[in-house]
A and B are shown apart, each in its own frame.
Chain A
Amino acid sequence: MNILVCIKQVPETNKVEVDPVTGVLKRNGVDSKMNPYDLYAIETALRVREKTGGTITVITMGPPQAAGVIREAFAMGADEGVLISDRKFGGADVLATSYTLAQGIKKTGDFELILCGKQTTDGDTAQVGPEVSEWLNIPSVSNVCKIIDIEENSISVEMDMTDDIEIAKVEYPCLLAVDKDIFMPRLPSYTRKINTKDKQITVMSLDDMEDKDEKHYGLNGSPTQVQRIFPPSVNAHREMWAGSNSELTTQLLNKLKEMKFA
């Protein structure tokens, strides 16, 4: 089976700061890592490959240094890596990101199974997976929390829909957005890291795409615009309570009564 995993590089910490004057995100000097949710997608791909054989390709859109997450995926066991990178792709919202990924995927090959993480820890929209599937015109299933059965032509999965768990069966080609803890992600292997350190990564720019119309990518291809970025209002009301346990208990009970819970 040909499996593709979409992975994204995100800031190491989500304690980001905004320049109070310009209102722009301070990204400089912040280390990057793989979106933690994508580790689950890679692990899922590895488990499926154990059953079916085949190859795992990882794809990421980002600046040149996003190659780092591809190397990490190699060290976990991925076979091939594709980096979609071009200044013209910068400033993309979900629609433009998913379109660019879909264009890159079409150029990379035919995949029976495409895996995405549930969401990222920076943009945090959980929309990229479903939108990629729409551009590729293939079915998608979100909230996948368990793989039940892998068959010749289809895959059966459990979805965590909060109120209930649903079981669904979908034919290939399809896209699954997997929930955290579907499988515990393995650690990258040191040996594999060394062995894959010079492994070729395919780099794609706008020129490599079937659709070369700049207006469809990056800021130009993005219907949404960030008008303003600002820190959340800090917790305005804060009281420190100290005292004996029984005093604290009474104080808490009174507060709960005031809020009409007790």
Chain B
Amino acid sequence: RDDIVQKDLSSYRGIWVFAEQRYGKLKTVSLELLGKARDLSKNLDVPVTAVLIGNNIKNLAQELCAYGADEVLVMEAEWLDDFNDHVYGEMMIQLIQEYKPEIVLIGATSNGRSLAPHISSTLRTGLTADCTVLEADKEERLLLQTRPAFGGNLMATIVCPNNRPQMATVRPKVFKPLLPDYTKTGKITILPVPSPIESFVKKIRNIDNEEGANLSDADIIVSVGRGIGSAKNIQLAQELADALGGALGSSRPVVDQGWMPYSQQVGQTGKTVAPKVYIACGISGAIQHLAGLADIETIVAINIDPDAPIFKVANYCIVGDVREILPLLIKEIKEAKK
């Protein structure tokens, strides 16, 4: 079990970002991580490297440089076309052992969350999940990784002092990407194509799940609770979400009533969302619902009950009748647009 553990920590240098892409398009979380890596690199005085794995993806390297990578390692092969945590993990492990980065950052997407632990356990190193703050301690060359636990009721700062690389996952939208600078060039290295490895997990088919993506990517979410009163009023909330360019979410009772599909449920047994703004309409704010709200800049709550628990976490607490306010608001937005 100890065979892999590297004792000479000082031979590990540099910050890596796993550049996740899908159908030849980079995930925004990878760009957000490059921005954070730039920030950390100033303190640690090391380059930022993006690792790009897939098929026909070379052309994305320039974009990664524009968003902050000094170097891009590109591994391209036809058999790497589809993301597979085992296969991609194996490639990452080989590269990490060869290049020895001190920090590896991975987006906490569904893919990233299953990829990262495969890598860290094989390399016998630590992995901190869903970090919301990353800082560098230059003296000790430590990554200070702060993350919420206990459904957001507690924060913990975690370090990995004696093993390398220091690995962390970060959810989408936690960090901001840099403004891209397309004049910036970086060192792009096309790696030799490795011999194919097989996965024991055979992908048979993909079904697009746009609805779900919609909720997790949205910058603003209008979310409805039992206080919305009727299925008809949900139409109003959808109109508002559309007018604001956002997505529609809901609490569990609304889904249980059959007013909304399960894919739109927010909470402990639904989706975890991280928009900039969350507008809770007629939602009481039960702990199981709040468990689905990650690092939201602004929470607006509309509730008729001034003592509703949602007001304890909201920034703007609107004590009023959501069934009256929604139609008025939509009308005003429409008028303002004219």
The reply to whether B200 and A226 contact each other, CB–CB distance below 8 Å, is: no
**Set of chain B residues within 8 Å of A14, measured between Cβ atoms:** 150-151, 153-154, 287, 291
Contact A121/B150 with A171-B200, A259-B298 known, Cβ cut-off 8 Å: yes
- Partner-contacting stretch, out of B44-52, B56-64, B156-164: B156-164
Report the minimum CB–CB distance from A153 to chain B (whole Å).
12
Q: Does A124 contact B (CB under 8 A)?
A: yes
Instruction: Give B149's nearest chain A residue, CB to CB.
Output: A124
The reply to whether A127 and B151 contact each other, CB–CB distance below 8 Å, is: no
**Most chain-A Cβ atoms within 10 A of its Cβ — which of B161, B200, B206, B298?**
B200
Report the minimum CB–CB distance from B124 to chain A (whole Å).
7
Contact A15/B201 with A121-B151, A161-B111, A259-B298 known, Cβ cut-off 8 Å: no
Q: Does A228 contact B (CB under 8 A)?
A: yes
Report the minimum CB–CB distance from B233 to chain A (whole Å).
15
Q: Does B259 contact A (CB under 8 A)?
A: no
Report the minimum CB–CB distance from B143 to chain A (whole Å).
11
Separation of A167 and B202 alpha carbons in the complex (Å): 8
Q: Which of B130, B151, B201 contacts A141 (CB 8 A)?
A: B201
Separation of A135 and B321 alpha carbons in the complex (Å): 55
Q: Does A201 contact B (CB under 8 A)?
A: no
B 262-302 contacts with A by CB, 8 A: 262, 268-269, 276-277, 287, 291, 298-300, 302
Q: Does B94 contact A (CB under 8 A)?
A: no
Chain A, interface residues (CB within 8 Å), range: 35 or more
The 4 closest A-B pairs by CB, nearest first: A223-B126, A224-B126, A139-B200, A125-B129
Interface string of B237-272 (1 = CB under 8 A from A): 000000111100000000000000010000011000
The reply to whether A225 and B160 contact each other, CB–CB distance below 8 Å, is: yes
Q: Does A98 contact B (CB under 8 A)?
A: yes
Q: Does A85 contact B (CB under 8 A)?
A: no
**Set of chain B residues within 8 Å of A134, measured between Cβ atoms:** 117-118, 121-122
**Set of chain A residues within 8 Å of B245, measured between Cβ atoms:** 261
Instruction: Give B164's nearest chain A residue, CB to CB.
Output: A223
- Total contacting residues, chain B, CB less than 8 A: 89
The reply to whether B333 and A93 contact each other, CB–CB distance below 8 Å, is: no
Q: Does A109 contact B (CB under 8 A)?
A: no
Interface string of B86-112 (1 = CB under 8 A from A): 100000000000000000000001110
Q: Does B85 contact A (CB under 8 A)?
A: yes
The reply to whether A259 and B277 contact each other, CB–CB distance below 8 Å, is: yes
Q: Which of A99, A174, A225 contacts B159 (CB 8 A)?
A: A225
- Partner-contacting stretch, out of A62-70, A190-198, A240-248: A240-248
Separation of A259 and B277 alpha carbons in the complex (Å): 9
Interface string of B298-338 (1 = CB under 8 A from A): 11101000100001111111111100110011001100100
Number of A-B contacts (CB under 8 A): 249
Interface string of A241-262 (1 = CB under 8 A from B): 1110110111111011101011
Judged by DSSP, the binding face of A is: mixed
Report the minimum CB–CB distance from B302 to chain A (whole Å).
8
Instruction: Give B336's nearest chain A residue, CB to CB.
Output: A262
A 137-176 contacts with B by CB, 8 A: 138-143, 156, 159-171, 174
Contact A95/B201 with A124-B151, A232-B155, A261-B245 known, Cβ cut-off 8 Å: no
Besides A127-B113, A224-B160, A225-B159, 15 other CB < 8 A contacts? A93-B126, A94-B127, A123-B149, A124-B151, A134-B121, A134-B122, A167-B207, A228-B156, A229-B157, A237-B315, A238-B315, A241-B316, A245-B328, A246-B328, A252-B302
Q: Does A214 contact B (CB under 8 A)?
A: no
Interface residues of B (CB under 8 A from A): 1, 22, 85-86, 109-111, 113-114, 116-118, 120-122, 124-130, 144, 148-163, 199-209, 212-213, 216, 219-220, 243-246, 262, 268-269, 276-277, 287, 291, 298-300, 302, 306, 311-321, 324-325, 328-329, 332-333, 336
Judged by DSSP, the binding face of B is: mixed
Instruction: Give A122's nearest chain B residue, CB to CB.
Output: B150
Separation of A71 and B298 alpha carbons in the complex (Å): 43
Contact A232/B153 with A142-B110, A225-B159, A241-B318 known, Cβ cut-off 8 Å: yes
**Set of chain A residues within 8 Å of B315, measured between Cβ atoms:** 235, 237-239
Q: List 8 A-B contacts (CB under 8 A).
A: A124-B129, A124-B150, A143-B114, A159-B110, A168-B202, A180-B268, A249-B325, A252-B302
Instruction: Give A103's nearest chain B residue, CB to CB.
Output: B1
Q: Which of A123, A223, A232 contacts B162 (CB 8 A)?
A: A223
Report the minimum CB–CB distance from B298 to chain A (whole Å).
7
Contact A170/B201 with A130-B118, A143-B110, A235-B313 known, Cβ cut-off 8 Å: yes
**Set of chain B residues within 8 Å of A139, measured between Cβ atoms:** 86, 199-201
**Set of chain B residues within 8 Å of A18, measured between Cβ atoms:** 154
**Set of chain A residues within 8 Å of B113, measured between Cβ atoms:** 126-127, 142
A 10-64 contacts with B by CB, 8 A: 11, 13-16, 18, 25, 36
Report the minimum CB–CB distance from B266 to chain A (whole Å).
13
Report the minimum CB–CB distance from B223 to chain A (whole Å).
15
Separation of A13 and B148 alpha carbons in the complex (Å): 15
Contact A160/B201 with A95-B124, A223-B125 known, Cβ cut-off 8 Å: no
The reply to whether B150 and A131 contact each other, CB–CB distance below 8 Å, is: no
Q: Does A205 contact B (CB under 8 A)?
A: no
The reply to whether B313 and A227 contact each other, CB–CB distance below 8 Å, is: no
Contact A224/B158 with A162-B213, A168-B204, A169-B204 known, Cβ cut-off 8 Å: yes
The reply to whether B159 and A16 contact each other, CB–CB distance below 8 Å, is: no
Separation of A159 and B85 alpha carbons in the complex (Å): 13
Separation of A124 and B219 alpha carbons in the complex (Å): 24
